[in-house]
Structure 1
Amino acid sequence: MFEDLRSYLDHLKERDLLHEVNVEVDPVEEVPEILRHLMWKRYPKAVLFNKLKGYEDWRVVGNIFGSMELIKIALGTENLEEIGERFLAPFKGKAEGVTGKLRKLSEMIGMGKYLPKKVRKGAVQERELEPDLLSIPTFKTWPKDASRYFTYALTITKDPDTEVHNFGVYRIMVYSPRRAVVHWQVHKRGAQNYLKYKKKGIRKMPVAIAIGGDPATLLTGALPVPEGIDKYMFAGILKGSSVPVIELDNGLLAPANAEALLVGYVDTEELAWEGPFGDHTGYYTPRDLYPVFHLEKMYARKDPIYYGTVVGRPPMEDAYIGKATERIFLPLMKWLIPEIVDVNLPPEGLFHGIAIVSIKKKYPGHARKVMHSLWGLGQMSFTKMIIVVDEDVDVHDIGEVMYAIASTVDPKRDVVIIENDVTDVLDHTTPTPPIASKMGIDATRKWKEECGYEWPERTEPDPKLVELVKSRWESYGFPSEVKPE
């Protein structure tokens, strides 16, 4: 597996999956516009900008996770679900019920094979620089964004009670050379750690911000790892080996092979205005108050590479990251809720917006039971609409899903509305985030107990005629590619 961002890019170059731009470009506004256009066109290569106007010491890379092929290369697997199975392997068959299984997951903190490995000095410490956030080629992605933003930096914190580390991908608005505003939503683990420090009366909460790193660690930053599980350990599971880390003066562990590292603290008594920012919804999110990060030290490798992404109306790079999340965590969802067959979180549904789930239906009301179980699982609690279909419906074929809805759903009987429930803070459709309504649609074929009558029989061809037609297909003169399966 790849030890850092550079080795990953070298590998992509060998496979002709890296495009290098060697003319001078403005990284603040021109680069994000280039990347946005490429992502809309589903460009399948990572893009490295080697000459930056005003930032001669830096290079910028984007779209490194811009296709499922790139993500599979980054994680060294052809089957992303295998990673989820690896995660669950120690616990299969050991606990019954969702509560017991979730309790078992918390014990994964002790899995020594994947725990981070401390090293005395990391590549990221090649140089200590004058602390200056403005010296980094951060993006201003959309014209009305309030400022420049870190869009894919890893914000590192730890729980002050358990010392379990977390790093998340939160947008960070640059205010000045040494101040920035961290947009961590109230449901995120970074925000929960912040509230613990605040409750304890600790004004300076240790925070580090890593730029770049090995691709498995970078992807882990965006994954909804269950609460209580150390993200460095989960990154080790994705990577297949421990993540090398350095211990900072403020007690945090940071990726040893990052490209740059910003060390400082968040003041638990200081808030500042953040936004507007053009987000993944395709709309600007309005201003709000968030905690302030203070930069104290800054480290960087020689010739550092800044990794940033752009977000907006799908498809963007985060569409593929979201799809990878879906596949990696499908085994976990199936372990916790065994009747689940498959799940589709469509990028156009903004992931938290719509979930399509197929189940092995075993009793009346089963679809509703699955809806409520999913709404009780971590970030699935943000899902605004859940559509449940039978196991023979391909959840990734929207035509099949639409047919299932049209042929099984009576709106009054089969639509569930939940009021005053938790939702994504970024959901501008609700007037009162993070509280909103949700909808579930039972698009399964109904049992008599659910509808009061015998459900009609589905039309199916005569198996003998199917075999006859298949055996004689060549004699009909039709192309082989349309032969019945």
Structure 2
Amino acid sequence: MTYTHLSQCLDDLERHGQLVRIDQEIDPHLEMGAIQRRVFQAGGPALLFTRVKGCSFPMAGNIFGTVDRIRFIFRKTLPRVRRVLAAKADPSVLLKRPWQVPSLALAAYHALPRKVFTGPILEHETTLSDLPQLVSWPMDGGPYVTLPQVYTHSPQRPGMRFSNMGMYRVQLAGNEFVPNKEVGLHYQICRGIGVHHAEAIEKSQALRVNIFVGGPPAMTLAAIMPLPENLPELFFAGMLAGHRIPMVTRSGHLPMPAQADFCISGIVDPHAQKPEGPFGDHLGYYSLTHPFPVLKVTSVLHRPHAIWPFTTVGRPPQEDTIFGTFIHELTRDLVPTVFSGIHQVHAVDAAGVHPLLLALGSERYVPYAPVRKPRELVTNGLALLGSTQTSLAKYLFIAAREDDLSLSCHHVPAFFRHVLERLDPTRDLHFVTKTTMDTLDYSGTGLNEGSKVMWTVAGPPVNRLATQLPTRFHLPGAFTNPRVFEPGMLVIQGPRHQLPRDTADPLVDVLCNTLQSQGDDFGFPLLVIVDDPDFTTRTWDNFLWVTFTRSDPATDIYGVGSFIRCKHWGCTGPVIIDARIKSFHAPLLDPDPAIEKKVDALGAPGGPLHGII
């Protein structure tokens, strides 16, 4: 079955036992987000909240809460989309399977939007304050749209052919926004809307923006797809939806999906900014208040019986984790066509996606060399850090596929063990400093600023990975509680961090000198300093989250026997990552205990979530 609008999808999920209605009144301020997160963690169904406190519109959450449910929603069109992507990855497939050509032609036809003169979205108008006011976390700066489809045209090449549609944060109220007149538009670096905004600034003209909510589920998925700049997300949505997306245009406005549930229209003045945030984000911390573009709203439209879809984000895994898993499933065969020499990539969700990227590449530059060492891998790594969404990676670990054909960068423990067995810290770490980094990452030297590092390994194992501390091992007084996490990986507790941003810690230098006095090789190529070793070593997810969200490579990587030679940094002994919470880091996301008790009551016998959470 294909869906032209959201209600069809929700009705279908309900018929198949994959949606639960909650008919008692639920507050969108904290309570609804907490419910959605708990049901997601339990692997539960989609949720339809029919009585939303303070709002006449129903809300739907956890729609995309499992990969199986996404596959179910797109069960009719996924085989065709997969064939299109397979043909993109290997065009010779059309010669091998010519009977697939008509199916691919139909997919291409569905990709083209269809212009219409009217549609349900034009039937009703409302105000920003009458929309659902979802607040997910206690310190959020106001209500947010959490599944928006933010749509713009290129000012230099207007039209749907050069449109962009992305899922950028939209703050509906709070801070300095004029009530019912303005919303905050927070987009991170390396996003398509930024290109359009830059063009508008260059031409000194306002940028028109439409924010769609709901509509065909394919529109939501398309808004988060990492597509090439020459392929509009709107076109991909048509392929995934299995029909041409009908787009209706009002005079003086951008097109909008005729079947959208809501559309917020407005303009961004070239240089207008206002404070936006804070907001509980997908790294597991709050992103704080900063100036971002402000959208001056000209209209808020909705279809009859409109439903407001939403999600909440927080420390992974969350519903956006499922989006990432599904996208990888769709696009994994395209990786070698985008990055020559790269066979596999994994943006690690447990580490907040952008902080940690694992990759498998080829090392073929000098096949006759008596010693294999990273050469092509460095080129491949620079390509990953130089284009598309992988350019936001902060830590890149890249290994040569030829050294172990069974290795997968999706098997994280095995991948780390492979890397540490082969790491030569005198040559294999490559830093990029004073560069851009993810807008949501507060570990760097400033907003959007920080560093990156590549760990490149090739060749046979050269390190013995220990599982026990040597008898001679000891730490200086400021550091305590050493824990062996995995072979070759040691976690220790450090003192509370109290230094300013962009400052190395002399206490860690003392640690390095103490370890060097005990000999360079004690079987632990990687040592991580944390605030709480018990928590960090409890699970791999905890280790990845702590280590890679709380450190900036150039500031927080140290080494035993470190040196700089011809501008290259290296060390002779273990690499040390300082992953303590820094004095300047954003606050952690902590749920409201009173709200959690309310959610517990919904899961008690007789409650609508009994047996689900």
Which TM-score bucket, shorter chain as reference? 0.7 to 0.9
After superposition, the Cα gap between the structure-2 partners of 1:388 and 1:187, relative to the gap in structure 1 and judged at 3 Å, is: closer
Q: Which residue of 2 aligns with 1:241?
A: 243
| Equivalence for 2:372 | none
Q: Alpha-carbon deviation of 1:406?
A: 2.6
Contact 1:271 1:292 in 2 (8 A): yes
**Residue 85 of structure 1 contacts residue 331 of structure 1 at CA under 8 Å; is this kept in 2?**
no
Amino acid corresponding to residue 352 of structure 1 in structure 2: H
Partner SS state of residue 410, structure 1: coil
Question: 2:128 matched to 1:119?
Answer: no
Kindly report which structure 2 residues correspond to 1:73-112, keeping only aligned pairs within 5 A, or say none: 73-76=72-75, 83=81, 86-87=84-85, 89=87, 92=90
Q: 1:195 to 1:360 in 2, by over 3 A?
A: closer
Whether 1:3 aligns to 2:41 is no
Equivalent in the alignment of 2:413:
399
Q: Distance in 1 between matches of 2:315 and 2:88?
A: 39
Cα deviation, residue 404, structure 1: 0.5
Secondary structure, counterpart of 1:357 in structure 2:
strand
Separation of aligned partners in 2, 1:200 and 1:179: 23
More displaced stretch, 212-221 vs 331-340: 331-340
Aligned equivalent of 1:171: 169
Looking at structure 2, the residues matched to 210 and 161 of structure 1 have their Cα atoms a distance apart, in angstroms, of 23
* Cα distance in 1 for residues equivalent to 2:213 and 2:433: 40
Q: Please name the residue that 1:379 is paired with.
A: 389
Match of residue 449 from structure 2: 435
Q: Aligned residue for 2:146?
A: 151
Percent of pairs with identical residues: 26
Amino acid paired to 1:413: R
Q: Label 1:223 to 1:138 Cα distance change in 2 as closer, same or farther (>3 A).
A: farther
Corresponding residue for residue 388 of structure 1: 398
Partner of residue 196, structure 2:
193
Secondary structure of the corresponding residue to residue 268 of structure 1: coil
Q: CA distance change for structure 1 residues 354 and 10 in 2, over 3 Å: closer, same or farther?
A: same
Match of 2:48? Answer: 48
Report deviation, 1:403: 2.0
Three-state SS of the structure 2 residue aligned to 1:411 is: coil
- One-letter code aligned to 1:46: A
| Cα 1:353–1:77 shift into 2, 3 Å | farther
C-alpha spacing 1:247/1:369, structure 2 compared with 1 (3 Å):
same
Cα 1:336–1:440 shift into 2, 3 Å: same
CA displacement at 1:2 relative to structure 2: 1.8
Q: What SS class does the counterpart of residue 430 from structure 1 fall into?
A: coil
Cα 1:303–1:263 change in 2 (3 A) is same
Pairwise CA distance, 1:280: 0.8
2:233 corresponding residue in structure 1: 231
Q: CA 1:400/1:196 → structure 2, altered by over 3 Å: closer, same or farther?
A: same
CA deviations on 1:35-87 (whole Å, 9 max, x unpaired) are 12223x242421111111221x311011111111122223327978x746514
Contact 1:86/1:237 (8 A) holds in 2: no
**1:185-243 CA distances to partner (integer Å, 9 max, x unpaired)?**
343222221221122121x3221111101111111111222223222112223334322
Separation (CA, whole Å) in 2 of partners of 1:43 and 1:50: 21
Which amino acid in 2 is paired with 1:86? Answer: V
* CA-CA distance at 1:338 after TM superposition: 4.5
- 2:296 equivalent to 1:305: no
Name the structure, 1 or 2, with higher relative contact order (CA <8 Å, separation 6+).
Answer: 1
Separation in structure 2 between the aligned mates of residue 335 and residue 90 of structure 1, nearest angstrom: 8
Secondary structure of the residue aligned to 2:408 is: coil
Whether contact under 8 Å (2:77, 2:241) holds in the other structure is: no
TM-score (structure 2 length as normaliser): 0.66
TM-score, length-scaled by structure 1: 0.82
Structure 2 residue matching 1:192: 3-state secondary structure: helix
**Can you give the 5+ residue segments of structure 1 that lack an aligned partner in the other structure?**
95-110, 452-485
2:38 corresponding residue in structure 1: 37
CA distance in 2, matches of 1:79, 1:295: 36
The one-letter code matched in structure 2 to 1:141 is: S
1:7 and 1:444 map into 2 onto residues whose CA distance is 52
CA distance in 1, matches of 2:78, 2:271: 46
**What residue is the counterpart of 1:17 in the other structure?**
18
Secondary structure, aligned partner of 2:443: coil
Residue 13 of structure 1 aligns with an amino acid whose one-letter code is E
Paired residues of 1:72 and 1:78 also in contact (CA < 8 A): no
The separation in 2 between residues aligned to 1:89 and 1:208, in whole angstroms, is 33
- Cα offset for 1:93? 5.6
Question: Does the 8 A contact of 1:344 with 1:357 survive in 2?
Answer: yes
CA distance in 2, matches of 1:2, 1:113: 13
Aligned-pair distance for 1:361?
A: 3.9
Residue 91 of structure 1, CA deviation: 7.9
- Count of aligned pairs: 428
**Cα distance in 2 for residues equivalent to 1:403 and 1:141:** 38
Among residues 128, 140, 148, which one is paired with 2:124 in the alignment? 128
Distance in 2 between the 1:362 and 1:238 partners?
38
Deviation, structure 1 residue 402: 2.3
| C-alpha separation in 2, matches of 1:363 and 1:85 | 33
Q: Larger % of helix: which?
A: 1
Secondary structure of 1:413 counterpart: coil
Provide the residue aligned with 2:63 in structure 1.
64
The one-character-per-residue Cα deviations of 1:248-302 (angstroms, maximum 9, x if unpaired) are: 3234121111111122222224211111111111111121111221222222122
CA distances 1:99-136 after superposition (whole Å, capped 9, x unpaired): xxxxxxxxxxxx655111112222222x3224x11101
Superposed CA offset, 1:290-327 (max 9, x none): 12212222221222110111111011111111222223
For each residue in 1:356-412, what CA deviation from the matched residue of structure 2 results, as whole angstroms up to 9, or x when unmatched?
Answer: 222344345232222112112211110112222324202222221122023211222
User: Is contact 2:358–2:397 with CA below 8 Å preserved after alignment?
Assistant: yes
CA distance in 2, matches of 1:173, 1:307: 15
* Residue 216 (structure 1) aligns with: 218
**Compared CA separation, residues 288 and 91, structure 1 to 2 (3 A):** same
2:214–2:309 contact (8 Å) kept in structure 1: yes
Matched with 1:330 is: 332
Q: Letter of the aligned partner of 2:387 in structure 1? A: L
Do the aligned residues in 1 keep the contact of 2:249 with 2:255 (CA within 8 Å)? yes
In the other structure, the counterpart of 1:293 is: 295
Tell me which residue corresponds to 1:339.
Answer: 341
Separation in 1, partners of 2:376, 2:272: 48
Q: Distance in 1 between matches of 2:36 and 2:314?
A: 11
After superposition, what is the alpha-carbon deviation per residue over 1:156-206, rounded to whole angstroms, capped at 9, x for unaligned? 11101112111211111123112111112343222221221122121x322
Cα deviation, residue 430, structure 1: 0.4
Question: Structure 1's 340 and 216: CA in aligned 2 closer, same or farther, altered over 3 A?
Answer: same
